[in-house]
Amino acid sequence: MAAPTGPIWVVAETNADGTLAKSSTEVATLARTLAEAAGSSAAGIVVAADPTAAAKELAGYVARVVAVAVPDVTGHTWAQAAAQQAAAILASGSVGAVLTGAGPDGRDVAGTLSALLERPVLVNATAVAWDGGPSVEMSVFGGKLITSSTFVDGEWGIVTVRPNVVTAEAAGSAGVVETRDADQGAGLPVVKVMERIEEAAAALPIEEARIIVAGGRGVGGEDGFALVREIAAELGGAVGATRAAVDSGWIPYAQQIGQTGKIVKPQLYLALGISGAIQHKVGMQTAGTIIGVNRDPDAPIAEFADLVIVGDLFEVGKALLAELRSRR
């Protein structure tokens, strides 16, 4: 089987302040690991109104960074603009593989790039190895099974990578940054951003938290989340929630964990008043340690937690605060 040769590329995402997104540091680290195994090199693409800061950061992870300034991109949606620039760069050389994040922007980049360059996509990778091409693991059927997939005939394709499956690690030496003029693009329609609304800043982003204390319907209301927050603060963690709690308006959607929320992999997941429904489980089942507090000993969470305390979450929660404080 012919193996694709050429750099392993990353299409990087930036934060609102122009810095490199954390997920892109992970994806870039993965690209470098794959490039080492493939005997090729890792390269990155940064498309932003001002790509300077993120490009410099990305060069800490990969050997070569192509930075494209698209000044008016702040007034438009980013992903398709970035994909068109990436397509222009990728079309002009050999490619080993292209990696993006599996978050909302990374998916849009991957889907767009796939259609522009007529390339296949492997999605939502939980691990990627190099075996004459990317060999991509993904978790399917609610985590019951892990599949390995490849592109056929050693052709190159696009892989979207889940957050938190790789630990970001900078390279020994910094790569080179080249700037490139914006290509005219493939003529995809522009979508205007009329307004950017900032909501009350979420404390610690749950994807990055080492410890998550999450509340479900059992928490009973907005007031109940005060206890969840207090325990999270005591443990130095972030607050997560189930869809039931989000739908009830007790906590913002940004904190939702699960199939339609965020996928997290903290070292500790403490679930208070959460049944552990499959759509919630898929978002947190790879946590290092899972502890549930539930009145119902038969709740599904008892099938996959390390420890289940059968009892009222308010009583156990208050006792836990006291216990933790006494051990400080």
Partner 1 sequence: MALRIVVLTKPVPDPAAAAERLGPDGRLDRAASPAVINGNDEYTLEAALKLADSMGAEVTLLSMAPPTGVETMRKGLAMGAHRGVLVTDPALAGADGWSTVQVLAAALRTLEYDLVLAGFDTSDGVGGVVGAGIATLLKLPLLSSAAKIEPNADAGTVRVRRISPTGFDVLEAPMPALIVGTQLLGEPRYPSLKGIMAARSKEVVTKSLADLGLDAAAFGGAAARTKVTGTTKPPARGATQVVRGTPEEGAKAIADLLASRRLI
Ligand X SMILES: Cc1cc2nc3c(=O)[nH]c(=O)nc-3n(C[C@H](O)[C@H](O)[C@H](O)COP(=O)(O)OP(=O)(O)OC[C@H]3O[C@@H](n4cnc5c(N)ncnc54)[C@H](O)[C@@H]3O)c2cc1C
- Measured from the CB atom, is 62 or 209 closer to partner 1? 209
Stretch that binds ligand X, among 19-27, 36-44, 132-140, 250-258 (CB under 6 A): 250-258
| Residue 187 touches which of ligand X, partner 1, none (Cβ within 5-8 Å per kind) | partner 1
Is 256 an interacting residue with respect to ligand X (CB under 6 A)? Answer: yes
Rounded Cα–Cα distance for residues 166 and 149 (Å):
18
174/311 with CB nearer partner 1: 311
Report d(CA 199, CA 305) in Å as an integer: 33
Residue 242 contacts which entry, ligand X, partner 1, none (Cβ below 5-8 A, type-dependent): ligand X
Confirm or reject binding of residue 218 to ligand X (CB under 6 A): yes
The option from ligand X, partner 1, none interacting with 280 (CB < 5 to 8 A, set by class) reads ligand X
Q: What is the CA radius of gyration of the chain?
A: 22
Q: Does 243 bind ligand X (CB under 6 A)?
A: yes
Query: How many residues form the binding site for ligand X (CB under 6 A)?
Result: 27
Say how many CA atoms lie within 13 Å of 260 toward its Cβ: 7
Question: Which one of 12-20, 27-35, 107-115, 240-248 is the stretch in contact with ligand X (CB under 6 A)?
Answer: 240-248
Look at residue 218 and give the partner it binds from partner 1, ligand X, none, a contact being a CB closer than 5 to 8 Å depending on partner kind: ligand X
Determine contact, residues 110/121, Cβ cutoff 8 Å. yes
**Nearest to residue 88, comparing CAs of 49, 53, 45?**
45
CB of 274 to ligand X, least distance (A): 4
Q: Answer yes or no whether residue 101 interacts with ligand X by CB under 6 A.
A: no
- To 5 degrees, how large is the angle CA 60–CA 63–CA 66? 90
Alpha carbon distance 127, 134 (integer Å):
10
Q: Which does 18 bind (CB under 5 to 8 A by kind): ligand X, partner 1, none?
A: none
From 119, 162, 265, 280, residue interacting with ligand X (rule: CB under 6 A): 280
From the list 171, 154, 143, 151, the residue with the least C-alpha distance to 30 is 171
Taking the complex as a whole, the smallest distance from the CB of residue 250 to ligand X amounts, in Å, to 10
Write the DSSP assignment of 78-115 as a string of letters: HHHHHHHHHHHHHTTS--SEEEEESSHHHHHHHHHHHH
Which has the closest alpha carbon to 47: 78, 1, 3, 2? 78
Give, in order, the Cα–Cα distances in Å from 194 to each of 48, 49, 50, 191, 197.
Answer: 18, 17, 20, 9, 10
With CB under 6 A as the contact rule, the residue among 14, 80, 275, 285 that binds ligand X is: 275
Complex with ligand X: residue 64 or 318, whichever CB lies closer: 318
Contacting residues for 135 by C-beta, under 8 A, at least 6 apart: 128, 129, 148, 149, 150
Single out the residue of 50, 108, 234, 296 in contact with ligand X (rule: CB under 6 A). 296
Tell me the window of 30-38, 134-142, 149-157, 256-264 that interacts with ligand X (CB under 6 A).
256-264
Considering only 50, 230, 234, 312, the residue that binds ligand X (CB under 6 A) is 312
Torsion of CA 293, 299, 302, 305, to 10 degrees: -60
List interacting residues with ligand X (CB under 6 A): 216-218, 242-245, 256-261, 273-275, 277, 279-280, 283, 293-296, 299, 312-313
